[in-house]
Amino acid sequence: MRKFCETYLKKLHIGNITTESNVLMAPLAGYTCYPFRIMCRKLGAGLAFTEMVSANGLKFNDKATARLLYTDAAETLKAAQLLGSVPSAFENACKGGYTADYDIIDINMGCPVPNVVKNGEGCALTQDLRLASRIIEACKRSGKVVTVKFRPGMNREKIVVSEFARMCEDSGADMITVHGRTRNMMYDGEPVYEYIAEAKRSVNIPVIANGGIHSEEDAIRMMDNTGADGVMIARFGLEDPMIFAELTGKVTKETRLSLIMGQADMAEKCFDELSAMEHIKKIASYFMKRLPGTKSLKQEMYSCGNLLQLREILVRIFGETEK
């Protein structure tokens, strides 16, 4: 079988930034916080994005929103994703202190969630190219590298992928990521490779393919069928982050137990105990998806009341599988 790292692995040139690999971790609400991003990068991800952050929330100095942007010097090549629909809010967010340490600003123009779309944000912006262009231009005025993540359209009758991709490039975007499903497909069904291929044929900036990648075979098939410059892993990165080492050929001695314990160590340092436990439990739950007979231990994990107890349960869950 062909190996991704032998056929498709390369560095990405995004504006004035060069990544070590073209395998990226997607922004995922509630999951891609600092500890998780650090783990993905160590395993080979060229970039790992923050979960989506409200540009308006930063405008009003919302502390909960600002916490999503926690980072430090250990995180190199910092990439934040912003959500919104007001160009001035994006410009202020990109120029403000909360994103000062971030090298890349990604604009969310693909979220299909009803409440987001109703607000004219996320995937709704594919219906308003003029507004989307103004948002990209507003972000570029910060001097940062700007990328855009979007879907091909609201449904198969409203496919705008080619013109939207060209608009992104013309407005100054340094890279685009195309999720191969329309808005009404949400996260289900096979991604349509041709939509991503259309975007690739339409622009000269890097095009990243996203959607339905759950294995090395999926990643190779995506590259074969789209001609994209790289792939973005989404929820499968939560279930098995070793996919980054597999795709990039990175040699690692990490195990599920060492990875989850590493998450516990980092979360304990940068979050309060309650927030740290919440993060660890969510990540551990995804890690457990491939482990049979862990239902009772999962219930025990969710009912435990402190980090010490949680660590003991994690050793029992993941230590047994590695004997």
Q: For residue 24, what pLDDT is reported?
A: 98
- Single residue among 248, 271, 293 that ends a domain in this structure: 248
Q: Read off the pLDDT band of 296 (50, 70, 90).
A: confident
CB proximity list for 258: less than 8 A, separation 6 or greater:
none
Same domain, 237 and 305: no
Question: Domains in the chain: how many in total?
Answer: 2
d(CA 204, CA 302): 48
Same domain, 225 and 264: no
Domain that holds residue 291: 256-321
Would you call 142 helix, strand, or coil by DSSP? coil
Q: For residue 61, what pLDDT is reported?
A: 80
Same domain, 202 and 277: no
C-alpha triplet 257, 237, 211: angle, nearest 5°: 165
CATH number of domain containing 50: 3.20.20.70
d(CA 13, CA 91): 24
pLDDT digits (tens, 9 = 90+) for 123-138: 999 999 999 999 999 9
Same domain, 129 and 261: no
Q: Is the pLDDT of residue 10 over 60?
A: yes
Please spell the DSSP secondary structure of 161-196, one letter per residue: HHHHHHHHHHTT-SEEEEESS-GGGTT-S---HHHH
Same domain, 37 and 122: yes
Same domain, 235 and 314: no
Q: For residue 320, what pLDDT is reported?
A: 61
- What pTM, to 2 d.p., does this model score? 0.96
For residues 225-229, average pLDDT: 98
The beta-strand segments (E) located in 129-262 are: 145-150, 175-179, 207-210, 230-233
d(CA 59, CA 165): 28
Same domain, 120 and 44: yes
Same domain, 278 and 231: no
Same domain, 161 and 262: no
Q: Which residues are catalytic?
A: 111
For residues 45-49, average pLDDT: 98
pLDDT digits (tens, 9 = 90+) for 182-205: 999 999 999 999 999 999 999 999
Q: For residue 63, what pLDDT is reported?
A: 79
Q: For residue 322, what pLDDT is reported?
A: 52
